Structure 1
Amino acid sequence: MGPRVSVLLPLRNAAATLDECITSIQSQSLQDFELLAINDGSSDQTLAILERYADRDQRLRILSNPGKGLVDALNYGLAQAGSPLIARIDGDDRMHTERLSRQLAFLQQNPNVTLVASQARIFPEEQLQAGFREYIRWQNRCLSAAEIAHNIYIESPFPHPSVTFRRTPIIQIGGYRQGPFPEDYDLWLRLHQAGHRMEKLPHKLLDWRESPGRVSRTDPRCSREAFDSLRARYLAKEPRLLERRHDLVVWGAGRKTRKRCRYLLDYGFKVNAWIDIDPRKIGNRIDNAPVVDPEWLNQKKRPFVLVYVNNHGARELIGEQLSSFGYRVEKDFLMVG
């Protein structure tokens, strides 16, 4: 009989933080796990540190990535895992002592859930910038399956190292994919469109390290353009949007909004009207469609609204206004990052 959970830890040059990470895993209240450490060509002391721990803990299996890069390492770890449940962690992060026990208990009690994440605490606090602080606030509030589905096209709703998921469904939809996009957000979007239920525990079970060299800040696969392009690819296949593609309206007529929206329009979608509150824009035309104020939406025949406004606070106010007009989230409008 195999372990109850396989902890997937891909590593490249993580020596500076690896002791903290492994110690947090070994300190779990649930001790029936295996730790798959996939070394992805490290040139520092990562391998030596792993060997030191493996000599004392038989649950730690050191694997060498047969491919190259994070996606290959993750897929190799999935293939080698001895448990049907996979918990992700990165070498610069830390687990709360109850992380594995709480997430496994939740999956056991909710067999219809494919993936469960947790809230996150960012450290060190002094390095947290305002924009990222707001993103974490938004992410930590996005908890239920319904909230995740409502918000999936805004941003990635989970920190990757906070998730625990069922291995078989992930493999069935193709595992992690290579491409010019963030591999985790691509996986969440595929799970969403395949109808899988995803939830988040209202507990901060991950200490998520912030640093200037974090992959999401330095890798072009995590650029603004990469997210916009990936999001548009899945929006273009979104059933709710396809059903209403002939009465499509976009909230936001600014230059940056139009640039982000262009990725979707390149799939053949057409905007019938643009919504904006700036009186200098109202009355103009963009791509032969009028720019109108929000009151224009208060009509009997409701169009489908894509809200491309990027400010978190403004999105909430727009959602309230649309609801006051009788629009229903997902049915009549979607928020887009």
Structure 2
Amino acid sequence: MTRDSPAVSVLMPVRNGVKHLDEAMRSLVTQIFDDFEVIVVDDGSTDGTWDHLERWASDDQRIRLFRSRPRGIVDALEIARAQARARYLARMDADDIADRRRFALQWALLMDEPTVAGCGCGVRYFPNSVVRAGARRYENWLNSVRSHEDVARAVWVECPLAHPTFFLRADVVDAVGGYQDHGWPEDYDLILRMHLAGHRLANVPDVLHQWRENTDRLSRTDHRYKPEAFLRCRVHYLCLGPLKDARDVIVWGAGPVGKSFARAAQDFGIGVVAFVELDPRKIGQEIHGAPVLGVKEALRIHGPLHAAAVGQYGARARIEVLLEEAGLVEGEDFVAVA
């Protein structure tokens, strides 16, 4: 492709990112797949970020710079997307490090699988000294999500592609409305819209992205990335998909996760028919106006969506096995939501 029509447009918003900017930019300009442009939107930086960016742009004509007042990540991403000239959109954060093979392997996946609308890749949180056990568990879960089938099973649990690793077909992103701000995570919002529109997603299994962990990260400080916001996003799109037409739900799990999911569902007008518990001590109780049932009794109820709402992966897997053995179909009759 020509310089005016690169294969990939990399979207990189940044605000006050001077501390780690050079590492991130260096990892981009040394990619072995080099047919791309980097569209950097400086979202109101005050720390010298712009001067650093100008130096990088003067050395590499693939880097295009834009400035805006502080408007937030969604507006910055949409500014970048409006300037993109390529048929594929990649994401990069200004404090992360991309393996030099990342774009090459993601490009190869989409070329080999033309029905896949986008992909992420494996990630590794760093620096190790500040990465907590919870982040490592999420990292391990994320890296286990590889095929389209994995993504379809995981999509109601968490965002199954790491945002800074997105590599998406631009026409698909445009067709579902691009990045939107609804007061919850913009990446999860986009992925759920793509999923409900029937688009296939996957991950390159290789760990190709170092994802910087720090207490100042937007996902640690902004209310839009709190667990409650993820839950609202999840339930909103469940109502447009598996829970459409005011379908009721049966919540598997009467612990904190199940109770939170049930409250959110009720807030969206979804009826909670029952909770399901394996613990005989909880059976017979009532939570949020719904009875707590045993497995056999719950499986006699036909029509509602069964939602596995437990925090532990092993418990979730056991519930999924029980539902499959009962003849229920994942994605139609039941979903895992935590």
* Paired residue secondary structure (1:272): strand
1:236 alignment counterpart: 239
Deviations along 1:307-333, whole A, 9 cap, x unmatched? 111222221222223233333322321
The Cα of 1:22 is off from its aligned counterpart by 0.6
Deviations along 1:66-124, whole A, 9 cap, x unmatched? 67111111001111012111110000101111111111122222222211111111111
| Code of the aligned partner of 2:243 | L
The Cα of 1:128 is off from its aligned counterpart by 1.6
| Code of the aligned partner of 1:152 | V
Gaps of 5+ in 2: none
2:190 alignment counterpart: 187
Quickly say closer, same or farther: Cα 1:241–1:63, change in 2 above 3 A.
Answer: same
Q: Superposed, which structure 2 residues align to 1:24-173 within 5 Å?
A: 24-65=27-68, 68-173=71-176
- TM-score between both structures, scaled by the size of structure 1: 0.94
Separation (CA, whole Å) in 1 of partners of 2:163 and 2:256: 31
Gaps of 5+ in 1: none
* Paired residue secondary structure (1:313): helix
1:321 alignment counterpart: 322
Counterpart contact for 2:118–2:201, Cα < 8 Å: yes
**Which sits farther off after the overlay, 129-138 or 285-294?**
285-294
The Cα of 1:288 is off from its aligned counterpart by 4.3
**Which sits farther off after the overlay, 254-263 or 56-65?**
254-263
Quickly say closer, same or farther: Cα 1:210–1:175, change in 2 above 3 A.
Answer: same
Counterpart contact for 2:13–2:94, Cα < 8 Å: yes
Counterpart contact for 2:246–2:270, Cα < 8 Å: no
Cα root mean square deviation, aligned: 1.9
Separation (CA, whole Å) in 1 of partners of 2:166 and 2:256: 36
1:252 alignment counterpart: 253
Counterpart contact for 1:249–1:275, Cα < 8 Å: yes
- TM-score between both structures, scaled by the size of structure 2: 0.93
Deviations along 1:30-50, whole A, 9 cap, x unmatched? 112111111111111211111
Counterpart contact for 1:65–1:72, Cα < 8 Å: no
Deviations along 1:157-214, whole A, 9 cap, x unmatched? 1111111111122122211112211111110111111111111111111111111111
Counterpart contact for 1:244–1:303, Cα < 8 Å: no
* Count of paired positions: 335
* Paired residue secondary structure (2:180): coil
**Which sits farther off after the overlay, 49-58 or 283-292?**
283-292
The Cα of 1:285 is off from its aligned counterpart by 2.3
The Cα of 1:255 is off from its aligned counterpart by 4.7
The Cα of 1:126 is off from its aligned counterpart by 2.3
Counterpart contact for 2:117–2:201, Cα < 8 Å: yes
* Paired residue secondary structure (2:201): strand
Counterpart contact for 1:8–1:89, Cα < 8 Å: yes
The Cα of 1:280 is off from its aligned counterpart by 2.9
Counterpart contact for 1:6–1:85, Cα < 8 Å: yes
Quickly say closer, same or farther: Cα 1:223–1:288, change in 2 above 3 A.
Answer: closer
Sequence identity, in percent?
39
Q: Superposed, which structure 2 residues align to 1:269-308 within 5 Å?
A: 269-299=270-300, 304-308=305-309
Separation (CA, whole Å) in 2 of partners of 1:177 and 1:242: 21
| Code of the aligned partner of 1:26 | V
Counterpart contact for 1:302–1:327, Cα < 8 Å: no
